[in-house]
């Protein structure tokens, strides 16, 4: 039995972060992907995660979305434990019922969109609100059409994903995630699978979300310029830890750690 | 040598038509059982409960590795020793349904496995329950690739119904054999049974392909 005494059953207080990783560890056999990660993200904050492949960036998002289990530590969302649940004043690993109740706060967009191919763009967006949130079809349709309008896809609402370009699919995927009204949005390399000429249409949508919505966002990206433009904070991951983090102007303009400098110069050379 | 008697053929036709109805009923009922039970077996094999997964997998292997005929005999003749007394009809449909459910579970399993991992993850990200995941996301995508296998087994079940004759179900072969024994003429009844099987199997196979294409289009897949 792991000692859970260092982890409170909930976080409270004025400055409770929206997302909090506390000593989170994840390994696959002998390979440690996340090494006692501590990371707080405040409500309304836009945080980008950059770093070399294999540094654990995507794993952070996947654990927050509960797609993967953590080995130790606790993740809190909006003050409540996500990966664990309180039982008799202590935290025990979460069961599926607890996960379902907490997961509602989180939405995610994937590198390969993962739209449902057997549904139209509109049906993709309505699926969660109708099935999971229990909205009426009319309510779900209104909400979905509003969001498809927001991402500029209303004209294609009756198309199946196979008829849409990558950029269009990703915009629908963003609308689908937003239709669940999450508090935290996760973007996992959402432009990596796109043709260069359509990257802009997706980044513009995300830009709009940053300026107009009070969403908490966590984004894994390889697009340094984009991360620099829109993030409140950038975290450089290396070897399953945050090697360096800070305001984008500092981290990109004046990186302190040698590994950060190496990574950034390697990325710049590649461009 | 070859003395086909039209008169006799005409005379026995009504009995064969009735028997065709029985054959179709047995095949249809068996298939219905197999479709539902097969899906349950396929999903059970993916459950997170290791014990259940193990038991179901072994059961499917066991049924697939023993002859249908043995299973029919077992249910009909051995069942009563355990207090399970079933009519030939019930025994037959259960045996065929059970046998083919194991084959269909493999077809479903292949279909479910062909759904990309990202679809499961998207379903989790929308906070769906396990039932919602299967019903709304996974099964609709698994069925199109499973359709051709499902169709093959429908024809397979149809062709296996004669096995039920061994426990006295009055399907086509059983009836043809009875007619032959009564009149000492086998040419007409068995030839007619062959034609009936062909006349049903061939269009059925074509129909299945048609349905397959239509379902795929309806789901927006290629």
Per run of 10 residues, the mean pLDDT along chain B (length 222 residues) is 80 86 89 94 91 94 93 89 87 92 94 95 96 95 88 90 86 87 86 90 87 78 58
- B119 Cβ under 8 Å from any chain A Cβ: yes
Nearest to A127 among B118, B136, B222 (CB): B136
pLDDT tens for each residue of A200-212: 999 999 999 888 7
CB contact under 8 A, A132 and B132: yes
Element of type H or E holding B121: helix B117-125
Q: Domain span at residue B172?
A: 6-218
For residue A125, give the nearest of A177, A192, A202, A198 by alpha carbon. A177
**At B72, is the secondary structure helix, strand, or coil?**
helix
B214 touches chain A (CB under 8 A): no
C-alpha torsion sign, points B26, B31, B36, B42: positive
Q: Maximum Cα–Cα distance for chain B, whole Å?
A: 74
Residue B85 lies in a domain: yes
Q: Percentage of chain A surpassing pLDDT 70?
A: 98
CB B156 within 8 A of CB B102: no
Distance CA A180, CA B126 (A): 7
Burial of B54 (0-12, 13-18, 19+ CB in 10 A): exposed
Residue A225 has pLDDT above 80, yes or no: yes
> How far off is chain B from A125, nearest CA to CA, in Å?
10
A84-141 pLDDT, tens digit per residue, is 999 888 899 999 999 999 999 999 999 999 999 999 999 999 999 999 999 999 999 9
Q: Is any Cβ of chain A less than 8 angstroms from the Cβ of B121?
A: yes
Cα A158 to chain centroid, rounded: 27
Sign of the torsion angle spanned by Cα atoms A193, A196, A199, A201? negative
Distance from CA of A158 to the nearest CA of B (A): 11
Check which CATH number belongs to the domain holding B52 and give it.
Answer: 1.10.3720.10
Show residues of chain A in contact with B146, CB under 8 Å: none
pLDDT at A268: 83
Q: Record the tokens describing residue B138, joined without a space.
A: 């996974």
Cβ-based contacts of B136 with chain A (< 8 Å)? 116, 127, 131
The verdict on a CB contact (< 8 Å) between B125 and A119 is: no
In a domain, B213, yes or no: yes
Measure the CA dihedral B85/B90/B96/B100, to 10°.
-100
Q: B137, A116: Cβ pair inside 8 Å?
A: yes
Residue B156, domain member (yes or no): yes
- Please check whether residue A132 is in contact with residue B132, taking contact to mean a CB–CB distance below 8 angstroms: yes
Q: What is the pLDDT of residue A94?
A: 92
Q: Tell me what pLDDT residue B220 has.
A: 63
Q: How many domains does one find in chain B?
A: 1
pLDDT in tens, A63-89: 999 999 999 999 999 999 999 999 888
CB contact under 8 A, B127 and A67: no
Q: What are phi and psi of B87, to 5 degrees?
A: -70, 160
Domain boundaries, chain A: 115-181
Mean pLDDT of A140-168: 95
Chain A contact for B133, CB < 8 A? no
Residue B127 to residue A180, Cβ atoms within 8 A: yes
In a domain, B1, yes or no: no
pLDDT given at position A271: 59
B187 occurs within a structural domain: yes
Place of tokens 């904050």: A45
Rounded CA-CA distance B40/B42 in Å is: 5
pLDDT of B1 reads 53
Q: Where would I find the beta strands (DSSP E) of A60-105?
A: 72-77, 80-81, 84-87, 90-93
> What residues have CB less than 8 Å from B106, skipping those under 6 apart?
B42, B60, B64
Q: How many CA atoms lie within 13 A of B162 on its CB side?
A: 13
């Amino acid at each position: 039995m792991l000692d859970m005494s260092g982890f409170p059953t909930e976080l409270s207080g004025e400055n409770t972060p929206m997302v909090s990783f506390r000593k989170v560890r994840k390994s696959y056999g002998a390979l440690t992907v996340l090494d006692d990660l501590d990371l707080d993200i405040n409500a309304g904050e836009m945080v980008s995660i950059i770093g070399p492949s294999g540094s654990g960036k995507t794993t952070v998002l996947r654990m927050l979305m509960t797609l993967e289990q953590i080995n130790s530590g606790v993740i809190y969302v909006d003050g409540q434990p996500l990966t664990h649940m309180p039982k008799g004043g202590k935290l025990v690993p979460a069961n599926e019922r607890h996960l379902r109740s907490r997961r509602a706060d989180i939405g995610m967009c994937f590198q390969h969109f993962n739209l449902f191919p057997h549904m139209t763009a509109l049906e993709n967006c309505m699926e969660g609100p109708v099935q999971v949130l229990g909205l009426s079809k009319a309510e779900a349709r209104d909400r979905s059409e509003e969001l498809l309008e927001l991402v500029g896809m209303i004209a294609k609402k009756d198309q199946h994903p196979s008829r849409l370009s990558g950029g269009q699919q990703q915009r629908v995927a963003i609308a689908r995630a937003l239709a669940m009204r999450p508090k935290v949005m996760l973007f996992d390399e959402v432009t990596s699978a796109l043709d260069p000429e359509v990257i802009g249409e997706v980044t513009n949508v995300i830009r709009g979300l940053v300026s107009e919505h009070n969403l908490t966002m966590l984004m894994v990206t390889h697009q340094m310029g984009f991360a620099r433009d829109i993030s409140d904070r950038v975290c450089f991951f290396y070897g399953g830890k945050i090697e360096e983090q800070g305001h984008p102007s500092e981290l990109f303009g004046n990186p302190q750690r040698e590994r950060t400098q190496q990574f950034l110069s390697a990325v710049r050379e590649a461009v | 040598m070859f003395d086909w008697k039209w008169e006799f053929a005409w005379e026995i036709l009504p009995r064969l038509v009735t028997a065709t109805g029985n054959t179709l009923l047995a095949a249809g009922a068996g298939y219905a059982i197999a479709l539902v039970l097969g899906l349950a077996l396929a999903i059970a094999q993916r459950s997170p409960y290791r014990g259940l997964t193990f038991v179901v997998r072994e059961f499917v292997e066991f049924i697939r590795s023993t002859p249908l005929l043995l299973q029919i005999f077992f249910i009909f003749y051995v069942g009563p020793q355990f207090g399970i007394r079933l009519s030939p009809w019930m025994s037959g449909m259960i045996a065929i349904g059970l046998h083919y459910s194991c084959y269909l579970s493999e077809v479903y399993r292949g279909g479910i496995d062909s759904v990309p991992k990202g679809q499961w993850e998207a379903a989790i990200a929308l906070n769906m329950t396990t039932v919602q995941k299967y019903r709304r996301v996974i099964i609709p995508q698994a069925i199109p690739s499973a359709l051709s296998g499902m169709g093959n087994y429908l024809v397979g079940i149809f062709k296996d119904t004669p096995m039920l004759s061994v426990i006295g179900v009055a399907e086509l072969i059983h009836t043809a054999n009875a007619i032959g024994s009564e009149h000492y003429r086998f040419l007409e009844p068995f030839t007619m049974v062959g034609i009936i099987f062909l006349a049903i199997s061939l269009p059925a196979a074509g129909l299945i392909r048609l349905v397959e294409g239509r379902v795929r289009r309806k789901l927006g897949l290629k």
